[in-house]
Amino acid sequence: MNLKNTAKKVLVQNLNLKENESFLIVTDDSKQKIAEIFYEASKTIVQNPLLIKMADREKPGEEPPINISDLMRNSNVVLCITEHSLTHTKARINASKNGARIGTMPGITIDMLEKGAITADYNEIEDLTLNYCAILDSGKKVVIKKNNSELTLSIDSRSSIASTGVFKHPGESGNIPSGESYIAPLEDSANGQIIIDGSISGIGVIEEPITLTINSGRLIEATGEDGEKLKNLLGKGNGRKIAELGIGTNKAARLSGNILEDEKVYSTVHIAFGSNQSFGGETNADVHIDCVIKDPKIWIDSDPISIS
Look at residue 131 and tell me whether its pLDDT is greater than 60.
yes
pTM: 0.86
Q: What is the pLDDT of residue 122?
A: 86
Domain spans of the chain, in order of start: 3-114, 118-305
Look at residue 263 and tell me whether its pLDDT is greater than 60.
yes
**Which of the four pLDDT bands, split at 50, 70 and 90, describes residue 140?**
very high
Crossing angle between the packed helical segments 90-97 and 66-73, to the nearest 10 degrees? 20
Q: In this structure, which topology does domain 3-114 adopt according to CATH?
A: Thermophilic metalloprotease-like (3.40.1830)
**Which of the four pLDDT bands, split at 50, 70 and 90, describes residue 1?**
low
> What percentage of the chain has pLDDT greater than the value 90?
96
Q: Is 300 helix (H, G, I), strand (E, B) or coil?
A: strand
Q: How many CA atoms lie within 13 A of 166 on its CB side?
A: 14
Query: What digits encode the pLDDT tens for the residues 190-238?
Result: 999 999 999 999 999 999 999 999 999 999 999 999 999 999 999 999 9
Q: What is the mean pLDDT of the chain?
A: 96
Range in 99-103, 116-120, 279-283, 296-300 the model is least confident about = 116-120
Cβ neighbours for 163, distance < 8 A, ≥ 6 positions apart: 129, 174, 175, 178, 179, 180, 181, 182
